[in-house]
Amino acid sequence: MNKTLVLLLTFIILLVFTVSGCAGQGDVGKGPIVVGSKIDTEGSLLSQMIILMLRDNGFDVVDKSQFGATSIVRKALESGELDVYPEYTGNGAFFFDETESDVWNDAEKGYERVKQLDKETYNIIWLKSAPANNTWAIAIPKELSEDEGITTLDDFAPM
């Protein structure tokens, strides 16, 4: 009886180790994902957030934060050297030589346009955009604004 009990316990222990060892097999194919960013602070912080999120969800991640300037990072994405990096949708105007198009004056239309162009041209998929607005503006001291009558960019242009 003792021998049978020892064999049964040994079998159960081996079974537990075997099953627990196979449990990690569901993670096969979860990486590595190469995450990059531009050399700016904002891009670096966003890439670190992406890296943490992916790692927290069981992905193996290669950190290529601060990979280079926009043109370098973009080429790396197009070539497959990078899998993901944070980008401004408005840069689509430069990527696709459409800086004269009015579509880029509307955040949602710009996002839809770059999403379409990248899918068709490079098979790059734009994920849902962040609920943030990175509109460019020029700030000047109130006194200068009042003294020179500058309230718009058109007022500022002749200066």
**Gap between the Cα atoms of 116 and 135, Å rounded:** 22
Residue 5 is assigned to a structural domain of this protein: no
Looking at the fold, whether 51 and 74 belong to one and the same domain comes out as: yes
Q: What sections of the chain are H helices per DSSP?
A: 2-23, 41-56, 70-79, 92-95, 107-122, 142-148, 153-156
Domain carrying residue 48: 30-87
For each of the chain's 159 residues, which pLDDT tens digit applies? 444 433 333 333 333 332 333 344 455 559 899 999 999 999 999 999 999 999 999 999 999 999 999 999 999 999 999 999 999 999 999 999 999 999 998 989 999 999 999 999 999 999 998 887 777 778 899 999 999 999 988 898 887
Is pTM beyond 0.75 here?
Answer: no
For residue 158, say if its preceding peptide bond is cis, omega within 30 degrees of 0.
no
Do the domain assignments include residue 25? Answer: no
Q: Domain count of the chain? A: 2
Contacts of residue 152, defined as CB under 8 A and 6 or more positions apart, other chains included, come to none
Residue appearing with tokens 């627990």:
20
52 falls within a domain: yes
Other Cβ atoms within 10 Å of 70 Cβ, number: 17
Is 126 within the bounds of a domain? yes
